[in-house]
Amino acid sequence: MVSGLHRPTKLVIDRQAIKANIQQEMQTLPQTTELWAVVKANGYGHGMVEVVTTAKSAGATGFCVAILDEALALRQAGFTEPILVLGITSPTYAKVAAVAHISLTVGSQEWLAAALPILQSGALTTKLAVHFAVDSGMGRIGFRDAAGLQAADTFLQQHVEFELEGLFTHFATADEKDTTYFKQQVAKFQQMRQALATEPRYVHVSNSATSLWHAACNGNMVRFGVALYGLNPSGTALSAPYPLQPALTFVSELVFVKQIQAGDAVSYGATYHAKQAEWVGTLPVGYADGWQRRLQGFHVLINGQYCEIIGRVCMDQMMVRLPAQLPVGTKATLVGENGGQTISLQDVADYAHTIHYEIACNLTDRVPRTYLPEKS
């Protein structure tokens, strides 16, 4: 996608905030526990390569992504640290991953059997590192019983093309007050863990939520995801044990200002009609940038004042009601601080009846990212 470098709409990413979030988490971890930064989905919308650069300088020793292409992009960018693909990759690409020293998630013996001939075809000087995923209750991917896990472990030991590097699971309710289901998953994982003949190098269960509120479960590696970006995994249900620093600010500017009269309509469907004479500003940002159509009626910050989004958000533009006539070029803040007031990603998510993960990940590449430097 083309990046909109010639319009006044951009994301500003604070590298120091990312670094601080990682370092705060690392201070809570034993020296034997590694932190791997989760940078899938373009670093949760923050910019994958730049986030990896910052996370590495902050002390992250590895990285987690969702798909093989993300891992390959990091290798092409010059990163040599361990990388784990958390999703299931087609066994067709087993050799591609092995050659690039990328670890893959495996959830069945059938996957190993399908990957074996791929790895055996032609010369291969390195093993494929795999992490066995255990479905302890997420219901997504992974081994569901000890017998299946044990059979896969036996198969893997019989074929030198593979190396069992890790064992992991993912919790469905680690960010909730009720820990009943969480404890059931912990018990299931511990029971499944006993099926392995030898414990692999990495045993990891902790996403951000688990590490923040259930640190006793951490194992020897933490998959630090949304909290890395300064976002509370539970939304507002639980308080984080230390302050998280949001890294993302979303800003634009007024490109057109006009006065409308009582009864005048604004935007598609004429869903908004002015009740009196009003000053209206147009911002060059819309749902093609990830600012969802459902955000009609929400607000932006201009000169420290909340200005309502009036009419439907368009693909590339949206309109806001102004407190008075303001000059073209006046800054508008969609997410972040402006004039002593703040709009958080959580505020946006609450209005849109979703989670802040979705708002951040939906911000498209058409919006250029600029980066504030880390402090030495």
Concatenating the DSSP letter of every residue in 15-28 gives HHHHHHHHHHHHHH
Does 3.20.20.10 match the CATH number of domain 15-229?
yes
Single out the catalytic residue among 40, 93, 272, 371: 40
The closest of 340, 346, 282 to 311, measured between CA atoms, is 282
Cα–Cα distance for residue pair 356/84, rounded to 1 Å? 24
Look-up: residue for tokens 């802040």? 356
Annotation: binding site: 140, 315
Single out the catalytic residue among 183, 188, 229, 268: 268
State residue 375's pLDDT score: 79
Instruction: Identify whether the C-beta of residue 185 lies closer than 8 Å to the C-beta of residue 136.
Output: yes
Query: What distance, in Å, lies between the first and last C-alpha atoms of the chain?
Result: 34
What is the Cα gyration radius of the chain?
Answer: 24
State residue 196's pLDDT score: 94
- Which 3 state secondary structure label does DSSP give 362? helix
CATH classification number, 248-343, choose in 3.40.50.300, 2.40.37.10, 3.40.190.10, 3.40.50.10190: 2.40.37.10
State residue 125's pLDDT score: 85
40 is catalytic: yes
Q: Which sequence spans correspond to the domains of the chain?
A: 15-229, 248-343
Look-up: residue for tokens 């893997």? 156
Q: What is the mean pLDDT of each run of 10 residues along the chain (376 residues)?
A: 94 97 95 96 97 97 98 98 98 97 98 96 90 96 96 96 97 94 96 93 95 90 97 93 96 98 97 97 98 97 98 98 98 98 97 96 97 86
Annotation: binding site for substrate: 140, 315
Q: Which amino acid is at 140?
A: R
Cα–Cα distance for residue pair 222/314, rounded to 1 Å? 40
Indicate the pTM of the whole model: 0.94
